[in-house]
Each structure stands twice: as C-alpha cells, then as structure tokens.
Chains A and B, each alone.
Chain A
Amino acid sequence: MTRMLHLLPVEAYTSQQWFDHEMRDIFSKTWRYAGFMEDISEPGQFITVQAGLNNIFIVMGRDRRLRAFHNICRHRGTQLIRAVGKTQKALTCPYHDWTYDLEGNLISVPEEHEEFGRIDKSCLGLKPAKVDIWKSMIFVHPDPDAPAITEWFGPVEPHIGPHVPEDLIEYEELNNSYEIKANWKVVVENYIDVYHLSHLHSNTLQMYDHKAAKYHWEGPHYVFWEPPVGAFLKDQESKLIAPRVIPKDMNGAWVPMLFPGIGLAGSEDGWNIFIIEPLGPELTRVSNRGRVSNRSGWEFSRQSMKSSMFWTKFGLSGKYEDHDAMSKDDPMVAGDFTGEDVYACEQQQKSLKSPYFETGPAAVGESPVIDHQKVVLKWLGDGK
C-alpha cells in the first residue's frame, strides 16, 4: 500500500520524478519572485533568476523599463547573457560574441559573412519572458503572453494586509537565506499549519492570539491573520520594536502564502518576505528580506529602547528549559522560531523514508495543509 502524507503519497516529498513534474507544471508556469524593485534601480543593471526550468535575465533600459529574456543565446543556447559596454545598451554572450539590443534583437554576429554566409538575424532574437513589479517585488513569468500579474494576485490582494511595501525601506539586516533539508511542500505546510503555532512556538510567537486566527484560500493563495494578545495590544506603541507601519485598526500578523511558495509576513512594525525555492526533492532554499518604516535611525533607537523592557518581561524563550537541551545548540531551547521551524521540517523529512511511516488524523488547524496538497494536485493534473 502506498504510504501517504494525507492526500499525497510520500514519493511526492522524496522522488525526483515528482520534483521534475512540479518544476515543469508548477514552477515553470507561475510568476516567480526575482527580487525587490531596488535590486535593479539604474539603467544597465541586470539580474538573473531561475523560474522552474527557465533561467531568466532581467535588465533595465534607460527608459527605466525592465525587460526579461530567457537566458539562452540563440547561437548555441549558452546561458551566458550579460549587459556590457559603457552605456550597457547591448546584451552579449561572451562565448562567440553574439550581441543583442535591449529588445532582444540579434544585432551582430562576428565574422558573419565568413562564418555563416548569410544569416537571418531577425529570426534569432532572444526569447522574451514577462516581467512586472507587484508590492515592491520584481516577478517574472517564463511565458511572455502570460496574463497580467494583477490577474494572478489581484483576487488575493485585498486580503493580505494593509502594508504598502513601496512606502517602506529595506532593512538589510533581515536579508538572509538558508537551505532546509526537506521538500519544498514540507516547508510550505509548516508555514501554513495553524495548529503548530501554539505548540512548537509556545514561547516564541505568543504575542499573537493563535486561537483567534482567521484564514482562508483565495484560489491557490492562502491568507492568514491573527490579532495581538491582550498583553501585547495594551499600550502597544511602547511595545513595538520599530516604528509602526499599519493603522491601529488593522493590527495583527498578516501571513499569507501565495502560490507557489511565496510567503509574506507583515506585522504592526514590519513587512517581510519568505521565498521558498525548491532545489531538489529533499532540499529547499528559503530567502528572507524585509522592510520597515522609512524613518530616521534615531526614531528606531527610541522605539527599540522604549520596547525593550516589555520584551524582557514578556519572555521570549525556548520551548524547553536549558536542562532539557539535547545539545549545546538545541533549536528547541534556543528561543528562535525560525530555528524551531527548520528543525521540525528536517525531522519531518527524515521520517518519510521509514517503511513504518504513517500519519495520524489532520487537525482542524491543519486544514490549510490538506488544501495546499489539493492545489498542488490540481496543478499537476489529477491523474498524478
């Protein structure tokens, strides 16, 4: 009998075949996060990003418009395109110096006449992809004719919180990235599991009232909100560690998981992203960045000093006491909720290969996990 993790077979979390299928039918057919809009802020700057099976090149022209192309030189298909020249108006492949303009048109082939006789350059332009900016993030879609990004995220947009990330500035200390030895769906399921919040994070996220959480789906996208607990809400202005970024009547933690693997986490004093990128069947990269209020450093210092007494007393701490630690850096003792999640994900992944693996019933608070599995099945075709 097939061993199952609720609706999906265990192989969905371990096999190369499932991974390949997801790369082809989910991650190559949806909008992929490529960075913050500040990452390409001047003409000539470019970045590349992997979108499922596609490597995509994004560059800004002097009209400050972004262009996106599949990073495949039309000569030998090499993934080498870069912007060069004093004014960076040309995209070139260093292998044989084939050169394209900013619209992707092939404009020069070295020794064209001697090496090729005649060549119809007009048929050998770079293949375009689609690029747009949404909520201060650059996104690409491998299909140049994909519907507008607002069609994809539009229905969920009214539910993801009042934050205006374009008005906030990046807080670079929040920029980090790490690998988790688990399938990407394990990481997503951990992010959207409401049941675990009061347990795994009993001493790290207790400033929010998990019992009052509200969550639902908008198409393939998951939305989640929960209010602050009374102790955190009372006189909250003196308890926020950074200047407030949302109106008081919209207080709370806004933590949607957009499809596929695009986590957002907004609170009273910040807005963060949690991008989940599958690297292999059992390896996933998570990239975090965040934004805060565009205020002076002095205002941040004041807010931080003002709030420190509350947080000392409120007591963020490890799930277990020091004397229960299994090792010097036991994540169950460290008091960092991300460490707790990574640990849980990796321990979950490890168990999947046991011949004795079996799951019990899913809790009400785990219904988002089941629903995410349904979304995955739908994108892969129900025949999977």
Chain B
Amino acid sequence: MTPRDFHPLTVLDTRNEIGGMAKTVMFDVPDALRNTFAWRAGQHLSFRFSVNGEEQRRSYSISSSPFSGDPLRITVKRVGGGVISNHINDNVQKGDVIDVMPPFGGFCLDPGATARRTHYFFGAGSGITPLFAMLSSVMAAEPNSFAHLAYGNTNEKSILLQDELSAIRGMNPDRLTIHHIFSKPGFWSSADYWRKGIIDKPAIEALIAENPPYAQDAQYYICGPGGMNLAVKTALISLDVPATRIHMESYGGVAELDSSVEGMAATAEITLGGSQHSINVAKGKTVLEAVKSAGLKPPFSCQSGVCGACRAKLTKGEIHMRARMALEDADIENGAILTCQSLPISRTLSLSYD
C-alpha cells in the first residue's frame, strides 16, 4: 500500500483552459518520489490547501497518461462558488508548492502491449480528465487496440483538452474516434459536433452502431457528473453489455436490474378469453402461477421470460419483472408484462391477456 501521506510538490507549470474557466496544473515529481507518485491512468490525487486559514481537501483526476511522457497533472474546472477550484484557477502558478497525496483509485485502465481491446469512453464536462489519461494511454502503449470517445459539453466553448484531443486523434486516425455532443450548440457557431443533446441511450446506441467493436474484447468507461454514470450504465446493460465490462467512478452501488423483489399479496382482475375473473396472488407467487392456481387456462410456455407467450397488458397497479427478455423497452412502456416473471408490488392489479 502506498502510504496516505501528503508530500510537498512543486508546480512545474500551469496552462489556462477554455478561456480561463479551467486550469491545467503540472507537477515536478523529484526522483526520490518517482515511485511514490507513479500513477495508473484513471487515478486521482488528493490535495491539501489552506485558504483563509482553513484547511481544505479536494481530489482531482490526473489528466495525463503515465505512458505519454507528459508530467503528472490535473485539469480543474471552475465550479460556481467552489472554494478550491476557484483558488486553483485564480492563484496557483509555476513554482508554488502544494501538498499532494500519492495517486489512488480503482477506476483504471492499464494498457497492455499485447492486449487487443475496443475501449468505449463516455464522458461529460470535466469527466474527460481521467478518460483522457486512459485513452492517451491506449494510444501510447496498447498498439493493437481501438478507442471511441463520446464527450458531452454545453457547446464548443466548454471542451476541456480540446487541442490535445484533436492532436491525438490526428495521430491515430485508424484507432481513435471522437464524438462531441453539445447540449446547447451555439446558433451562429460553425463548430462541428456529432449530435445535439446528452449522452443518453439513443446516443450510446448510435455510437456503438457507427463504431461496432472491431477487437471483440470490448470495455466501457464512464465518467460524468450527477446521474449520468448510472444512466449510461443502465443504457449499456439494456444493450446486453455485461456489468463486468463497465467501469466507472464508484459513487455508491448500482441497483441490480433483476434484484430479488419479494412481491406482495394482491388481488388481481384478470381478463382472459373475453371474461373477467378476480383472483388472489399470494406473496412470492407470480401472476402466472396465481392465474393457473385459480383454475384458469392462461397462455404460457417457457416460464423463463424468453418466449413471450404469457404476455399480458397491465392496466392498473404495479408489478416487478424478474426477467424480461421477450420484451423491448417500447413494449414495457405500453404496459406489456411477462406474467411468468411478474410479482405484484401493489395491492391491486388489473391485467388482460386478450
């Protein structure tokens, strides 16, 4: 384990980004600390500042690759009212000495000289910083692999590390694609972008359809603000991406899609073959099991959520589906359920097989 101690590091240089709204700060790591500050792409650094006599700690992702020859550095965007982000942007300059804890974090991409992978990166705003370290590591040290970046911003004025992204794309035209998504593209702007909007499921589907994995060991990395991480992960899972291939900064657990909800006892109004029936569903039983126990003859087949034979339309109440492979998202939005997988989670249900 790397000791969790602060070390004073000297600022090698700084660079203003996006019109002074962000700043890249590069550090001089002395030889004696070379091993202590060896980093993996995707890791972050913790800093200790004293501002107005008060100690403040912040973590920022490292925005350079350990394989590209760039110095250890961070890129910090101003946050409205943010004490430290504005302090760094306003005050930190070449020659300053700052207390820094050695790199840590498990959101990493370790390039392999013989690995052959397709890496998909989904980032927004300053979420680009660890992703930039990762994708430049792939270009520098994983020569048989490919990378595709979807990068969301307000418009072309807020793209962090834009020149570096363009340069690395220019050097690797066969291995790297970059897709800019603007939420509010300037009306008069001539800036080129891929899509308008945010990195949502349609954007993710389009990215993968336009850039299907060539190397079949595909990996997915997400770093964005707010609810973006979970939304992207959910969208990826709905596209059959196994969770083991999805990597993101952990901001707490992610709900399992098929988590074992127990269900509850309920009464259900069933429409089947043109007639109405009122039945009880015992706790822990599926709707299909209850309908069968009541002596009715509902359609069903595989009982595993695959075939869709037991499909019905839910018109009242709520159910939890343990599996739903036979249904598309649009079907579910229209009330379709698989009765063999449905557990009631409200006291009363109405549904129709007809």
A-B contacts, 9 of them at CB < 8 A, read: A61-B240, A61-B241, A63-B213, A65-B216, A92-B306, A102-B240, A110-B303, A110-B304, A133-B215
B165 at the interface (CB under 8 A from A): no
Binary contact readout A79-118 vs B (1 if CB under 8 angstroms, 0 otherwise): 0000011110110100001010111000110100000000
Residue pair B326, A86 in contact (C-beta under 8 Å): yes
B209 / chain A contacts, CB cutoff of 8 Å: 64
B254 at the interface (CB under 8 A from A): no
Closest Cβ of chain A to B150, distance in Å, is 14
B216 / chain A contacts, CB cutoff of 8 Å: 65-66, 131-133
A147 at the interface (CB under 8 A from B): yes
Which of B213, B306, B308, B326 interacts with A64 by CB under 8 Å?
Answer: B213
Q: Most chain-A CB neighbours within 10 Å: which of B114, B115, B239, B240? A: B240
Q: How far is the CA of A107 from the CA of B242 in the complex (A)?
A: 14
B residues 284-323 in Cβ contact with A at 8 Å: 302-308, 323
A150 at the interface (CB under 8 A from B): yes
Residue pair A132, B215 in contact (C-beta under 8 Å): yes
Q: How far is the CA of A63 from the CA of B235 in the complex (A)?
A: 10
A84 / chain B contacts, CB cutoff of 8 Å: 306-307
Q: How far is the CA of A167 from the CA of B326 in the complex (A)?
A: 36
**A87 touching B326 in the complex, CB below 8 Å, given contacts A108-B302, A148-B116, A150-B114:** yes
Which of B116, B212, B241, B302 interacts with A99 by CB under 8 Å?
Answer: B302
Residue pair B325, A154 in contact (C-beta under 8 Å): no
**A99 touching B306 in the complex, CB below 8 Å, given contacts A63-B236, A149-B116:** yes
Residue pair B302, A110 in contact (C-beta under 8 Å): yes
A329 at the interface (CB under 8 A from B): no
Closest Cβ of chain B to A149, distance in Å, is 7
Closest Cβ of chain B to A97, distance in Å, is 6
B208 at the interface (CB under 8 A from A): yes
- Which residue of A has the minimal Cβ distance to B331? A86
A62 / chain B contacts, CB cutoff of 8 Å: 239-240
B46 at the interface (CB under 8 A from A): no
* Residues of A in contact, count (CB < 8 Å): 31
B193 at the interface (CB under 8 A from A): no
Residue pair A63, B304 in contact (C-beta under 8 Å): no
- Which residue of A has the minimal Cβ distance to B204? A63
Tally of A-B residue pairs with Cβ under 8 A? Answer: 82
A43 / chain B contacts, CB cutoff of 8 Å: 240
Residue pair A99, B304 in contact (C-beta under 8 Å): yes
**A65 touching B213 in the complex, CB below 8 Å, given contacts A85-B307, A89-B240:** yes
Main secondary structure of the interface of B (DSSP, over half): loop
B236 / chain A contacts, CB cutoff of 8 Å: 63
Residue pair B116, A85 in contact (C-beta under 8 Å): no
A324 / chain B contacts, CB cutoff of 8 Å: none
A172 at the interface (CB under 8 A from B): no
A103 / chain B contacts, CB cutoff of 8 Å: 242
A120 at the interface (CB under 8 A from B): no
B6 at the interface (CB under 8 A from A): no
**Given A62-B239, A84-B306, A110-B302, 15 extra CB contacts under 8 A:** A64-B208, A64-B209, A84-B307, A86-B308, A86-B326, A86-B328, A87-B326, A97-B302, A102-B240, A108-B302, A108-B303, A110-B304, A132-B216, A133-B215, A154-B144
A151 at the interface (CB under 8 A from B): yes
Residue pair A85, B212 in contact (C-beta under 8 Å): no
- Which residue of A has the minimal Cβ distance to B205? A62
B218 at the interface (CB under 8 A from A): yes
Query: Which range holds the interface residue count of chain B?
Result: 20 to 34
B214 at the interface (CB under 8 A from A): yes
Closest Cβ of chain A to B332, distance in Å, is 12
Residue pair B144, A89 in contact (C-beta under 8 Å): no
Closest Cβ of chain A to B232, distance in Å, is 13
Q: Most chain-A CB neighbours within 10 Å: which of B239, B304, B305, B327? A: B304
Residue pair B241, A63 in contact (C-beta under 8 Å): yes
B323 / chain A contacts, CB cutoff of 8 Å: 107
Residue pair A65, B218 in contact (C-beta under 8 Å): yes
Closest Cβ of chain A to B33, distance in Å, is 35
A148 / chain B contacts, CB cutoff of 8 Å: 114-116, 144, 217
- Which residue of A has the minimal Cβ distance to B144? A150
B residues 161-220 in Cβ contact with A at 8 Å: 208-209, 212-218
- Which residue of A has the minimal Cβ distance to B325? A89
Residue pair B218, A63 in contact (C-beta under 8 Å): yes
- Which residue of A has the minimal Cβ distance to B117? A148
A150 / chain B contacts, CB cutoff of 8 Å: 114, 116, 144
Q: How far is the CA of A110 from the CA of B306 in the complex (A)?
A: 12
Closest Cβ of chain A to B15, distance in Å, is 36
B327 / chain A contacts, CB cutoff of 8 Å: 87
Residue pair B326, A108 in contact (C-beta under 8 Å): no
Q: How far is the CA of A59 from the CA of B241 in the complex (A)?
A: 13
Binary contact readout A127-164 vs B (1 if CB under 8 angstroms, 0 otherwise): 00001110000000000000111110010000000000
Q: How far is the CA of A103 from the CA of B243 in the complex (A)?
A: 10
Q: How far is the CA of A90 from the CA of B324 in the complex (A)?
A: 11
A87 / chain B contacts, CB cutoff of 8 Å: 325-328
Closest Cβ of chain B to A319, distance in Å, is 43
B242 / chain A contacts, CB cutoff of 8 Å: 103
Q: How far is the CA of A97 from the CA of B323 in the complex (A)?
A: 16
Closest Cβ of chain B to A372, distance in Å, is 26
Residue pair B214, A133 in contact (C-beta under 8 Å): yes
Q: How far is the CA of A109 from the CA of B306 in the complex (A)?
A: 12
Closest Cβ of chain B to A107, distance in Å, is 6
Q: How far is the CA of A97 from the CA of B309 in the complex (A)?
A: 15
Q: How far is the CA of A97 from the CA of B301 in the complex (A)?
A: 10
B214 / chain A contacts, CB cutoff of 8 Å: 133
Q: How far is the CA of A154 from the CA of B215 in the complex (A)?
A: 14
